Amino acid sequence: MCRKGSSFYPLSMIEARGLTKRYGDKLAVDDLTFTVRPGIVTGFLGPNGAGKSTTMRMILGLDEPSKGTVTVDGRRYADLPAPLHEVGALLEARAIHTGRTARNHLLALAATTGIGRRRVEEVIQLVGLTDVAGKRAGGFSLGMGQRLGIASALLGDPGTLILDEPVNGLDPEGILWIRNLLKALAAEGRTIFVSSHLMSEMALTASHLVVIGRGRLIADVGVDELTAMTSRDLVKVRTSAADRLSTLLAGAGVTVTRQGGEGLEVSGMDSAAIGLVAAQAGIPLIELTPQQASLEEAFMEITRDAQEFSTHPNVDQLVGAQGGTR
């Protein structure tokens, strides 16, 4: 059966409400509230140690929240009657017994919910492990281990997938494979929640982002929105006739700043318009560069003060500033 469109998983949502996890006197996750929606890939982004894995373990009922709740399809994970059919998970540290073959690992998990051998062979083929399915998982490379983890996540054909750092340690081919797989699964209407500490990776897969730092929510925004929000919208211009050009450009909504003898920084006007003005006035340009912030820079900017070992915590301010964009 081919699944297209979102009609198959109408209510597959992950909803965290005031989710908090305390280890001793350390708050690993602090009052997180967010919703992961179906039909798109949602990236779960944050520096190492931000609390991503802890949050994912709480979604799966492996760790008990100190406060707050998290539900899948409106139910606590522990209350799902057939969890593998509703939520598939790939956990960061490989959750595979090293002494068991890939096939037996999958057969054992499948048996808990009555999934048969046929489906096990299917997912083995789907993730490209057919040749090594009879080999013990202890000898697997990181990439093969990740593929086996994804195979277990797909066993029950779940409407929700939770993947903790799926591209970690993968070769370029494997990364591309996961990217396309996630997009395809989302296009089928599933809810996909993927964590990463790499913004560049998320920029290529996710269309929505939940960004956390030191356990707290920093942003819950669309990827486009985030770029726009943090983009500096500047054009860098260099010309020998800097004075003349700046006079020509200055006007309503346009700010021109001098940067040394030949340099200008223009905001409020895009590079095409600047180029046209210069050409009409016969001004030769040495450089004309749009300065759009990359997602990576955007991420660095919003998480700068929420790095685990940052010396000047400033998270409250960021949450205050970014929280309103949701």
Q: Interface with other proteins by CB under 8 A: which residues?
A: 1-3, 8-9, 57, 60-64, 77-78, 80-87, 89, 91, 93-101, 104, 107-109, 111-115, 119, 122, 126, 152, 154, 156-159, 181, 184-185, 187-188
Phi/psi for 44 (5° steps) reads -115, 105
Q: How far is the CB of 135 from other proteins (least distance, A)?
A: 13
Q: Which is nearer to other proteins, 99 or 323 (CB)?
A: 99
Q: Which is nearer to other proteins, 122 or 297 (CB)?
A: 122
Q: How far is the CB of 23 from other proteins (least distance, A)?
A: 9
Q: Which is nearer to other proteins, 82 or 276 (CB)?
A: 82
Q: How far is the CB of 124 from other proteins (least distance, A)?
A: 13
Distance set, CA 149 to CA 62, 96, 123, 129 (Å): 17, 8, 11, 11
Distance CA 197, CA 118 (A): 36
- Can you list the alpha helix ranges (DSSP code H) found in the chain? 52-59, 83-86, 102-111, 117-126, 142-154, 172-187, 199-205, 223-230, 242-249, 271-280, 295-303, 315-323
Q: How far is the CB of 320 from other proteins (least distance, A)?
A: 32
Chain centre to alpha carbon of residue 69: 22
Q: Which is nearer to other proteins, 65 or 143 (CB)?
A: 65
Q: Which is nearer to other proteins, 66 or 291 (CB)?
A: 66
- Three-class DSSP category at 193: strand
Q: How far is the CB of 190 from other proteins (least distance, A)?
A: 10
In the numeric block, the tokens 């400033």 are attached to 314
